[in-house]
Amino acid sequence: MPGRKITLALAIACVLLLSIKLPGLAAKGIPGSSEFGFGGQIHLAGINLTEALNTAGNLHLDWIAIDLAWNEYQPKPDQPPNLGLIDQVMQIASQQQLAVLVRLTNPPAWALTPKGPDSQRTAKWIVSLAQRYPGTLMAVEIYPGANTRAGWGAPVDPKSYYSLVSTVRNQLQAAKMPVIVVAGGLVPLGSSAAPGDMTDTAFLESFYQAAGKDQISVISLQINDPTGAPLAPSTNNEPRVLRRYEDLRQVMVKYQQGNNLLWITRLCPPSGKINPEDLKYTDASQQADWLTQAYSQIRSQLYIGVAIMGNINQPAANSPQFSLIQGTSSGYHPFYKSFRNQIAASRTFMSTPTGKSKNGIVIKKQVTANRP
């Protein structure tokens, strides 16, 4: 009889453990997941921050992305970082069951070397963030725009970047923090490429050559300001199109990285600055159509795990950038309805929602700072 009681107790304990929903374990679009992850970028110093977080929850987004300019939060190495605002955002994200991607940018001067950001100091900073926000901080994109001098902070160096990515990943593993390291944040370059920049495909080739047989689980691409319709093909003369992801995929396959994922960590419609024919996309309804087609197209690519829409809120008042929440009137962009419908359709066969509506959340204090 005692043996039966012990067996029964163990069985009950196993059932209870299996029924517990641990934060972050259900994140979509990660390595090993067959589901696509919808996301949106939130600007911490932008307008309508509270409403942006509410909107992410009400849409049932899988991810939110925030830019964290390291030099603003810890300008001196002996100065404790001021993370009060981020603490609040992370707490709300946890309540909303939103996985968070931190896009680490702008290392402070004390963490820079002539070849770029210091690997050990970067790794230590990321590990400290992972330990501060366990189960909510699910992924870190390391210095997005790594193929540009502006993103890397020095002349582009794929070998040094790989060394940094490897160091960060190893130290996260040593600290037993299951945070996904997202590499690259690659930017397709056109005629505006600056000295010291490198094309995204050339950078990725050199990065994989430095990595050797090491499998890099997630490479990321930014579609900051594309040109053309979503179906427009990438060419040597004009790589700044949505389908640039196909060219990066070819490089991944070439270097035996085909089982790994590509994330689009910033997705915006054309601004009209590249080609006069794109000026039609300054119309909100045209933007909505472009994004609707873009998301449908992206989701059909099984190697793309996550696509982060930029932006949920505007980075500043009267910003010309696309955003889901428009201006200070709290009106929504026409894409809101289509975005909501696409997310809902992807959740049709799910019994448990990834996010949940949390009305009335409030950010107590916002830090006003100029972010790049």
Cα gap 260→30, rounded to integer Å: 10
Give the type of residue at 223: I
Residues in contact with 229: Cβ distance below 8 Å, sequence separation at least 6, in sequence order: 290, 293
Question: How many CB atoms lie under 10 A from the CB of residue 356?
Answer: 13
pLDDT grade, residue 318 (50/70/90)? Answer: confident
pLDDT for the residue numbered 168: 98
DSSP bridge partners of 67: 103
Is 364's pLDDT higher than 80? no
pTM of the model: 0.88
pLDDT for the residue numbered 316: 87
pLDDT grade, residue 362 (50/70/90)? Answer: low
pLDDT for the residue numbered 65: 98
Question: How many CB atoms lie under 10 A from the CB of residue 131?
Answer: 14
- 176-201 confidence digits (pLDDT tens): 999 999 999 999 998 778 888 999 99
| Nearest by Cα to 325 from 99, 62, 53, 38 | 53
pLDDT for the residue numbered 329: 59
pLDDT for the residue numbered 260: 98
| Nearest by Cα to 58 from 325, 323, 269, 294 | 325
- 254-294 confidence digits (pLDDT tens): 999 999 999 999 999 999 999 999 999 999 999 999 999 99
